[in-house]
Every structure is written in structure tokens, then in C-alpha cells.
Amino acid sequence: ILNVEQSPQSLHVQEGDSTNFTCSFPSSNFYALHWYRWETAKSPEALFVMTLNGDEKKKGRISATLNTKEGYSYLYIKGSQPEDSATYLCAFYGTSYGKLTFGQGTILTVHP
């Protein structure tokens, strides 16, 4: 059974704050690590697909880093805005089994 853990479970920040959260995953049989943003009443939206150790990706105010040797990824949001409020999911893709294993998500609430 693969364990993909996300922390914290929920987070409340003020508009303008920068924040980050963590995804931990198995360090063996790694193929890719996905990040998704899931807003209420919408479909999960892909943010990043990361495959290389040391990878850093950026999309606007959101960035992510990857450490496959120790099995973690960080997602950073700079200058949080209320529209960033969503559940952020990470998902691990291993080489030995054709499926995405999701973490339980981090619920981010940005207060105006």
C-alpha cells in the first residue's frame, strides 16, 4: 500500500501572506509527482507534473519543488489571494503500477 501524505490538513492565511505545504511519498519506484488544485464545485485542475529530482516548476505565484531521494515535494504560493482558496492535492505515480495515488489534500483558505 502506497502512502502519500500531505500536511497540513488545512491552512488559513490572510491575503498577501505567502504559504507552503508538503507532500510526502515513497522514494522508491518513482516516476512522477502531480499537483492539482481543486476548487469547490469545479474539476481538479493540474498545476504541475514533476519528474526529475531537484525539479522546480513555477506558474504565476505558485511554484513547486521536488526531492525524489527523500520523497517530498513542496508547493509554495507567494502573496496568497482569496481566489487561491482551494484544496491542493498531490499524487504519486510509481513505475511499478499504472495509477495515481493521491494524498488527502491540503485545504487552503485565504481571508481578505
Partner 1 sequence: DAGVTQSPTHLIKTRGQQVTLRCSPISGHKSVSWYQQVLGQGPQFIFQYYEKEERGRGNFPDRFSARQFPNYSSELNVNALLLGDSALYLCASSLGTLYEQFFGPGTRLTVL
* Binding to partner 1 in span 3-42, by CB under 8 A: 4, 6, 31-32, 34, 36, 42
Element (H, E) at 101: strand 100-102
What would the grid cell of residue 8 be? 497540513
Let me know the angle formed at the C-alpha of 20 by 16 and 24, rounded to the nearest 5 degrees: 165
Give the distance from CA 90 to its chain's centroid. Answer: 4
To partner 1, the closest distance from the beta carbon of 112 in angstroms equals 26
The residue with cell 488545512 is: 10
Among 71, 93, 108, 110, binds partner 1 (CB under 8 A): 93
| Of 40, 43, 60, 83, the one binding partner 1 by CB under 8 A | 43
**What is the contact surface with partner 1 in residues (CB under 8 A)?**
4, 6, 31-32, 34, 36, 42-46, 49, 89, 91, 93, 97-105
